[in-house]
């Protein structure tokens, strides 16, 4: 009996140890890689782009919460906080930093570290910004996606003129924190088309209300809304005010047209974020930013909202409808 009891005790001890093996193995696994995500705005306006970013990561073999962690830093439209938030990610430390929402977060990340890999999505030429040495051979610790926001200004003005042929005076709404070279590009393109430009800056919701009150007095023929995270975060306000003031308006991304804006034209930013996610995944596997060429957007979208055009009393030319990638009824 004593021998049998001893055998039972040994078996129970052995069984208990075996049950603990998976726990021990998990405890001994190295920690999951951490990706830092830096953005100047807030997450509520960027669900589709975040979904696309995670899809790109998944294509590279990484799933948030399963074999990778994402540390998000949102500046809530306070651009002055970006250097501090970038420094937080460097101290964390993270394996790679991904920046979205324009040029400012990319420059903040680049200033914060010369060693941690950076994947950016920027509307301006990254060589001119000093982020990379060249598109084909970035050098340094940064690479990413250039989605040509500034370069598409002339095309957007042409589409707006096609929709509103009689337009001669166009108001331009800019966010000072993200204007960059946008105003110069708009003015240059407008000059070649014989358009008169009226530029107005807006960095708060009240500024937007004030701008539309001015439009009501001065009556420009159309409105050109520039890019940037702040104006995108106020897209509902912009679409409602444009409808209230009967102002034909052109926007740079499809999110505006989807919620009632008249027309948008620009690079597919969901596709750009998917590409950024794929690059981040490759870096987690050991790829060096200096060896990954800067990708340039190849997918562009023209979206027209027919309900908005009807409310404005505009007849969209059939030739323009035929070129649209999406027509919202």
CB-CB contact of 312 with 262 (8 Å): yes
In this structure, are residues 255 and 47 in contact, taking their beta carbons and an 8 Å threshold? no
Count of CB atoms situated within 10 Å of the CB of 93: 12
Judge whether 227 and 100 are in contact, CB under 8 Å. no
* Cα dist from 231 to 18, 45, 115, 250, whole Å: 58, 11, 33, 13
Q: Give CA separation, 117 vs 24, 102, 217, in Å.
A: 32, 18, 50
As a whole number of angstroms, the distance between CA 61 and CA 35 comes to 14
The contacts found for 161-165 with CB under 8 angstroms, 24 or more apart, are 161/193, 161/195, 162/317, 162/319, 162/320, 163/248, 163/250, 163/262, 163/263, 163/309, 163/314, 163/316, 163/317, 163/320, 164/221, 164/222, 164/248, 164/314
As given in the structure block, the two tokens for residue 316 are 């969209």
pLDDT for position 5 = 44
Angle, vertex CA 105, rays to CA 104 and CA 111, nearest 5: 90
What string of pLDDT tens digits covers the 329 residues of the chain? 443 444 444 444 444 443 333 333 333 345 899 999 999 999 987 899 999 999 999 999 999 999 999 999 999 989 999 999 999 999 999 999 999 999 999 999 999 999 999 999 998 899 999 999 999 999 999 999 998 776 789 999 999 999 999 999 999 999 886 666 788 889 999 999 999 999 999 999 999 999 999 988 889 999 999 988 889 999 999 999 999 999 999 999 999 999 999 999 999 999 999 999 999 999 999 999 999 999 998 889 999 999 999 999 999 999 999 999 999 98
Sheet with 96-99, strands from edge to edge, namely 69-74, 34-39, 96-99, 118-122, 142-146, 295-296
Q: Which two tokens stand for residue 243?
A: 């409808």
What Cα–Cα distance (Å) separates residue 235 from each residue in 159, 238, 255, 260? 20, 5, 8, 9
How many CA atoms lie less than 13 Å away from 280 in the CB half-sphere? Answer: 35
Position 180 scores a pLDDT of 61
pLDDT at 9: 44
Contact indicator for 323, 302 with CB cutoff of 8 Å = yes
Run of H or E residues at 89:
helix 82-91
How far lies 113's CA from each of 77, 130, 140, 146, 325, in Å?
22, 14, 10, 21, 40
pLDDT (0 to 100) of residue 185: 86
For the chain, how many helices (H) and strands (E)?
Answer: 14, 13
What is the rounded distance in angstroms from the CA atom of residue 83 to the CA atom of residue 108? 5
Give the pLDDT confidence score for residue 179 in this predicted structure.
65
């Amino acid at each position: 009996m004593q021998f049998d009891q001893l055998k039972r005790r040994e078996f129970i001890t052995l069984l208990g140890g075996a049950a603990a093996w998976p726990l021990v193995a998990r405890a001994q696994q190295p920690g999951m890689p951490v990706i830092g995500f830096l953005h100047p705005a807030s997450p509520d306006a960027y669900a589709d782009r975040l979904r696309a970013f995670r899809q790109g990561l998944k294509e590279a073999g990484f799933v948030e919460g399963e074999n990778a962690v994402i540390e998000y830093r949102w500046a809530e439209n306070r651009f002055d906080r970006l250097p501090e938030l970038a420094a937080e990610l460097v101290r964390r430390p993270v394996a790679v930093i991904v920046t979205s929402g324009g040029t400012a977060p990319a420059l903040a990340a680049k200033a914060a570290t010369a060693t941690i890999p950076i994947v950016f999505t920027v509307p301006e030429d990254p060589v001119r910004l000093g982020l990379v040495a060249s598109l084909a051979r970035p050098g340094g610790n940064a690479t990413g996606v250039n989605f040509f926001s500034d370069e598409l200004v002339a095309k957007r003005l042409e589409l707006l003129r096609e929709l509103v042929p009689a337009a001669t005076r166009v108001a331009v709404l800019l966010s000072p924190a993200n204007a960059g070279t946008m105003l110069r590009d708009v003015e240059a393109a407008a000059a070649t088309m014989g358009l008169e430009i009226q530029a107005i800056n807006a960095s708060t919701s009240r500024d937007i209300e004030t701008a539309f009150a001015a439009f009501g007095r001065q009556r420009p023929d159309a409105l050109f809304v520039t890019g940037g995270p702040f104006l995108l975060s106020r897209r509902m306000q912009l679409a409602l005010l444009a409808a209230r003031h009967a102002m034909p308006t052109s926007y740079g991304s499809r999110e505006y047209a989807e919620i009632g804006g008249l027309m948008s034209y620009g690079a597919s930013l969901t596709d750009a974020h998917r590409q950024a996610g794929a690059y981040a995944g490759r870096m987690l596997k050991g790829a060096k930013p200096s060896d990954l060429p800067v990708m340039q957007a190849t997918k562009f979208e023209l979206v027209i909202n027919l309900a908005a055009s009807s409310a404005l009393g505009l007849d969209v030319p059939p030739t323009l409808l035929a070129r649209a990638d999406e027509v919202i009824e």
